[in-house]
């Protein structure tokens, strides 16, 4: 077991072999985007990392071009983050994958944290801790509450950045075949294959939806959609409700 883990770590941390270690898949759509910061994090990775940008809205077609040999830009043929992740995963060459929202930025040494977590063969995948780009008292209250829900329910919410081995991601592709709630479904798939880790390292995600729609109102809409889905709601109808009323 120990020798196997050591060999796996050596493989993942050996950039001289020219093997892509981490594929970072980022759907982009109209709205807040942190793509320049995400690009910088990927380009300065300690291991070889590729960036796969998936355009998930017609308004951005032709406006984003790849920057460098380790970046790919694709166009999803259906609107919805789950569909975009499916398109990106098909192009992933890395041994590991990170599914990242475009309004979320990565911490320092994000790649080392992922490699270390997945060097444990009992770990199927996981996510980062989360912070917002606004320090309001209400949002600070939500952070530990969200972490508690993740620990209790085993969910890996998408705005935390979800990481896993790429071969497992491709096995879990049917879970992503929805326009919304793909993170809930992917979390279920991960739990069938091992432990789900919540890292101490922290991503920073946009609080724009809370600012734009009102903190309590946006929280209520989000929780309603989660409950609706848990009770058997149709993801397409939930998607239409969530975005049409924003």
- pLDDT for 12 equals 54
Residue 114's φ and ψ, nearest 5 degrees, are: -65, -45
Cβ of 57: how many Cβ atoms within 10 Å? 15
The answer for residues whose C-beta is within 8 angstroms of residue 62's C-beta and 6 or more apart is none
Per residue in 199-234, pLDDT (tens digit) is: 999 999 988 888 888 888 988 988 899 889 989 999
Complete domains list, the chain, with CATH: 2-208 (3.90.550.10)
Could you tell me which residues are beta bridge partners of residue 49?
22
102 vs 158: CA distance, rounded Å: 11
- Dihedral sign of CA atoms 208, 212, 217, 222 in order: negative
**For residues 91 and 144, which has the higher predicted lDDT (pLDDT)?**
91
DSSP string, 140-179: HHHHHHHHHHHHHH----GGG-EEEEHHHHHHTGGGG-SS
pLDDT at 161 over 90: yes
User: Confidence band (pLDDT; 50, 70, 90) for 7?
Assistant: low
Instruction: Determine contact, residues 179/78, Cβ cutoff 8 Å.
Output: yes
| CA-closest candidate to residue 119, choices 21, 204, 15 | 21
CA pair distance 51, 110, nearest whole angstrom: 14
* pLDDT above 90 coverage of the chain, percent: 61
Helix (H) or strand (E) holding 104: strand 104-105
| CA separation for the pair 183, 29 (Å, rounded) | 17
Q: How many CB atoms lie within 10 A of CB 139?
A: 17
Question: Pick the residue with more confidence: 146 or 188?
Answer: 188
- pLDDT of 153 above 80: no
Q: With contact defined as beta carbons under 8 Å apart, do 203 and 132 qualify?
A: no
DSSP state of 181: -
Question: Over the stretch 95-126, which tens digit does the pLDDT of each residue have?
Answer: 999 999 999 999 999 999 999 999 999 999 99
- Average pLDDT over the chain reads 87
Distance in angstroms (rounded) separating the CA atoms of residues 158 and 40? 21
């Amino acid at each position: 077991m120990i020798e196997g883990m050591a060999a796996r770590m050596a493989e993942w941390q050996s950039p001289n072999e020219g093997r892509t270690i981490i594929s970072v898949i980022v759907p982009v759509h109209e709205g807040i985007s942190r793509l320049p910061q995400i690009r910088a994090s990927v380009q300065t990775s300690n291991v070889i990392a590729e960036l796969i940008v998936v355009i998930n809205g017609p308004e951005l077609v032709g406006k984003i071009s790849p920057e460098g040999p380790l970046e790919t830009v694709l166009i999803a043929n259906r609107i919805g983050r789950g569909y975009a992740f499916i398109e990106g995963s098909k192009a992933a060459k890395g041994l590991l994958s990170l599914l990242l929202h475009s309004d979320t930025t990565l911490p320092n040494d994000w790649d080392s944290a992922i490699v270390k977590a997945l060097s444990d063969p009992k770990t199927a995948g996981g996510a980062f801790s989360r912070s917002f780009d606004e320090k309001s008292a209400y949002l600070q209250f939500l952070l530990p509450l969200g972490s508690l829900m993740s620990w209790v329910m085993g969910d890996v919410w998408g705005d935390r950045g979800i990481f896993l081995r790429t071969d497992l991601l491709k096995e879990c592709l049917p879970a992503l075949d929805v326009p919304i709630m793909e993170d809930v479904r992917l979390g279920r798939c991960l739990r069938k294959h091992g432990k789900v880790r919540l890292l101490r390292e922290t991503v920073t995600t946009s609080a724009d939806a809370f600012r734009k729609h009102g903190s309590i109102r946006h929280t209520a809409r989000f929780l309603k959609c989660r409950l609706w889905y848990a009770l058997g709601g149709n993801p397409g109808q939930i998607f239409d409700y969530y975005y049409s009323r924003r």
